[in-house]
Amino acid sequence: MATAPDPFRLDGRSVLITGAGGGIGSALVERFMAAGARVFGADRDAAGMAHLALAGQLTVDLADLPATEAASARFVAASGCPDIVVSNAGFTRGESFESLDVGVWRSEVDINLNGAYALLRPIVDAMAARRAGSIVFVSSVNGLAHFGNPAYSAAKAGLIAYARALAVERGRDGIRANVVAPGSVRTPAWDHRLAADPALLERVLPHYPLGHLVSPADVANAVLFLASPAAAGITGAVLPVDAGLTAGNMRFVDDVLRGKA
């Protein structure tokens, strides 16, 4: 009797991962390669992807929307339409309203939301033409509730709306779109904060019910699941990978109800 194919395997499939050179991006590349996929990377920094055994790479600044759309169209023409896209690139420095102005707001919404749309526009059309495709967005807990970084958070919430729009309007074209919302992950994205305050992570941990942070591999495993045929029945979903942060307010229970200051 023939055994059914493993729905978590991606042998023969291609995936384009944005932000491939970053902390979570590198874990995504490794995880998708281990699952058998042919992995292409996109990042603004070609050198950052040099250590990865990629099938090909795309150097693109997602804040430059026309250039991103054109580069994506060229990529599809040269390498074919990817079976899967993981829209993972992201950036923020505007920690609270005090550090925002119109320029920073626009730049963070461009990098985190508009650039994802520009990159995906030609790819979604190509996926629809062949009636198959799977897209996973790496959003954030910041897209679900407010934890600082207002412009970034607006963009991350926008990615959730964009994923749902794709799920609803493009479902009949065979396209699935889902979202992973990580909590804090110790990647280079935290370097500037830890340089300013080396003890910062000790103050982050008490917010997390599991008592530890999410790892880049934890995020990559959840993305792989949603991208793969194992999630064939799932579209428009938002999966927090946040060690329990958005399940509720642990400090309220401890401080108010258990009386532990």
Ligand X SMILES: NC(=O)c1ccc[n+]([C@@H]2O[C@H](COP(=O)([O-])OP(=O)(O)OC[C@H]3O[C@@H](n4cnc5c(N)ncnc54)[C@H](O)[C@@H]3O)[C@@H](O)[C@H]2O)c1
Binding residues (CB under 6 A) for ligand X: these are 19, 21-25, 43-45, 48, 60-63, 88-91, 111, 138, 140, 182, 184-185, 187-189
Give the whole-angstrom CA distance, residue 76 versus residue 162: 21
From the list 152, 162, 208, 260, the catalytic residue is: 152
Shortest spacing between CB 51 and ligand X, in angstroms: 12
* Residue bearing tokens 């963070």: 108
From the list 156, 162, 208, 260, the catalytic residue is: 156
Shortest spacing between CB 54 and ligand X, in angstroms: 13
Residue 58 phi, psi dihedral angles, 5° rounding: -125, 120
Is residue 156 annotated as a catalytic residue, yes or no? Answer: yes
DSSP string, 21-47: TSHHHHHHHHHHHHTT-EEEEEES-GG
Closest residue to ligand X in the complex (CB):
22
Residue 57 or 134 having the CB closest to ligand X: 57
**Nearest residue to 219 via CA among 12, 19, 83, 24:** 24
Is residue 117 annotated as a catalytic residue, yes or no? Answer: no
CA dihedral 102, 105, 109, 112 (to 10 degrees): 150
Residue 48 or 150 having the CB closest to ligand X: 48
* β-sheet with 175-182: strand ranges across: 56-59, 38-43, 14-18, 84-87, 133-138, 175-182, 238-241
Residue 24 or 175 having the CB closest to ligand X: 24
Find out whether 119 and 139 touch, Cβ atoms under 8 Å.
Answer: no
Shortest spacing between CB 196 and ligand X, in angstroms: 16
Shortest spacing between CB 4 and ligand X, in angstroms: 33
Residue 11 or 45 having the CB closest to ligand X: 45
Q: Active-site residues: which are they?
A: 152, 156
